[in-house]
């Protein structure tokens, strides 16, 4: 399959997770823009990221970034998830929205606290409706490792979504940045990835994991 290059907006891209994804996607040849509530902050963050990798990275407010993109990635804190999607919703019609949100509820971020027993992303799909192709991914990837471009990230990416073609696109994007993405089922299955992040936080503390733990799925045949 020919590698596709996309215009990708990282909404909440001024954070560590979004910044790390932006860096690696830019290196892989995608046209990356950073979105933030504050356009000036987005431009500053974009310039810093661009300087690190010698690639053009744009900055804009979330809505403008989403409007200009073919694919949007949501990397905001859980508390800002819904408001951010509401803000950009009109710009996402027919597009893929990759939601990396984890429903961490401070201060107990190491305790699984799924919203009403469902995944956080399920609420976003319900909000966005069927014209936005929502895919859940990247919840378990350490921001620190993502930002450390000298090393590959030792973590698989669980990719969940009700749109299988959109899931395949996200799996290809993960491959572009050196990550093995695995189709992990319908969007509701994102509950596993979201819950796992609190487990990883607990393990990071208990075992003093440098840079943060990750997950691997074992047993996948090479030709998988």
Cα separation, 224 vs 80, whole angstroms: 37
> Which residues lie below 8 Å from residue 108, measured CB to CB, with a gap of 6+?
none
Is residue 119 a contact residue for its own copies (CB under 8 A)? yes
CA dihedral 109, 110, 112, 113 (to 10 degrees): -20
Q: Which of 110, 148, 168, 172 binds its own copies (CB under 8 A)?
A: 110
Contacts of its own copies in 8-27 (CB under 8 A): none
Judging by beta carbons within 10 Å of its beta carbon (0-12, 13-18, 19+), is residue 40 exposed, middle or buried?
exposed
Write the DSSP symbol of residue 189.
G
Q: Which stretch binds its own copies (CB under 8 A): 3-11, 23-31, 45-53, 153-161?
A: 153-161
Within residues 158-217, the interface with its own copies by CB under 8 A covers 158, 160, 182-186, 188-189, 191-193, 195-196, 198-200, 202-203, 206-217
Q: Which stretch binds its own copies (CB under 8 A): 10-18, 52-60, 90-98, 108-116?
A: 108-116
- Cβ count within 10 A of residue 92: 23
Residue 221 in the binding site for its own copies (CB under 8 A): yes
Give contact residues for its own copies (rule: CB under 8 A): 110-119, 142, 154-155, 158, 160, 182-186, 188-189, 191-193, 195-196, 198-200, 202-203, 206-221, 224
């Amino acid at each position: 399959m020919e590698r596709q290059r996309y215009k990708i907006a990282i909404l909440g891209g001024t954070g560590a997770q979004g910044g790390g994804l932006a860096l690696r996607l830019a290196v892989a040849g995608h046209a990356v823009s950073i979105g933030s509530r504050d356009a000036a902050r987005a431009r500053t963050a974009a310039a810093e990221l661009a300087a690190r990798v010698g690639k053009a990275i744009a900055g804009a407010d979330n809505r403008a970034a989403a409007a200009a993109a073919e694919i949007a990635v949501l990397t905001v804190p859980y508390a800002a998830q819904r408001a951010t999607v509401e803000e950009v919703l009109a710009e996402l019609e027919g597009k893929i929205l990759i939601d990396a949100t984890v429903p961490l509820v401070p201060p107990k971020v190491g305790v699984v606290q799924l919203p009403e027993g469902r995944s956080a992303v399920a609420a976003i799909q319900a909000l966005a409706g069927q014209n936005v192709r929502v895919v859940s991914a990247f919840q378990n990837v350490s921001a620190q490792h993502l930002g450390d471009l000298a090393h590959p990230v030792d973590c698989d990416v669980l990719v969940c979504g009700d749109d299988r073609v959109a899931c395949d696109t996200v799996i290809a994007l993960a491959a572009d940045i050196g990550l093995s993405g695995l189709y992990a089922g319908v969007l509701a299955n994102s509950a596993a990835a979201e819950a796992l992040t609190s487990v990883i936080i607990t393990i990071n503390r208990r075992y003093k994991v440098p840079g943060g733990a990750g997950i691997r799925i074992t047993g996948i045949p090479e030709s998988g």
